[in-house]
């Protein structure tokens, strides 16, 4: 298990001059006495026309110090990401 260390909303400009937003979640975790390791994962809804509202709502559901499930490579825990189930609850 990992722990959320920061939650931000990032704005991304596209080549046509538009903008989309995504949720950025930073976290840390340890494996026994090894660590802490850190990572950052992103969530962006599929449909841009509703993404702002969904991201803002999702932001309210993810909190610093919240416990999250992290997936990592056994041979290199520096390669990691949040388990997809974290996003399913948003």
Instruction: Kindly report, residue by residue over 2-49, the tens digit of the pLDDT.
Output: 999 999 999 888 788 778 888 999 999 999 888 899 999 998 877 666
What is the pLDDT at residue 27? 97
Q: 64 - beta bridge partners?
A: none
User: What does the alpha-carbon distance between residue 30 and residue 33 come to, in Å, rounded to a whole number?
Assistant: 7
What is the pTM assigned to this prediction?
Answer: 0.85
User: 82 falls in which pLDDT band (50, 70, 90)?
Assistant: very high
More confident residue, 54 or 64: 64
**Paired sense of beta strands 76-82 and 67-68, if any:** unpaired
What is the pLDDT at residue 48? 63
Helix (H, G, I), strand (E, B) or coil at 89: coil
Work out the angle at residue 11's Cα, subtended by the Cα atoms of residues 10 and 13, and round it to the nearest 5 degrees: 145
Q: 40 - beta bridge partners?
A: 26
| Mean pLDDT within 47-74 | 86
Classify the C-alpha dihedral 69-74-78-79 as positive or negative. negative
Which residues, in sequence order, are CB contacts of 15 under 8 Å at separation 6+?
A: none
């Amino acid at each position: 298990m990992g722990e959320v260390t920061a939650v931000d909303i990032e704005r991304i400009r596209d080549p046509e001059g538009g903008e989309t937003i995504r949720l950025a979640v930073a976290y840390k975790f340890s494996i026994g006495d090894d660590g802490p390791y850190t990572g950052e994962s992103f969530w962006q809804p599929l449909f841009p026309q509703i993404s702002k509202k969904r991201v803002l709502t999702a932001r309210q559901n993810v909190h610093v110090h919240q416990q999250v499930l992290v997936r990592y490579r056994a041979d290199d825990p520096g390669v990691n990401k949040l388990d997809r189930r974290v996003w399913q609850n948003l």
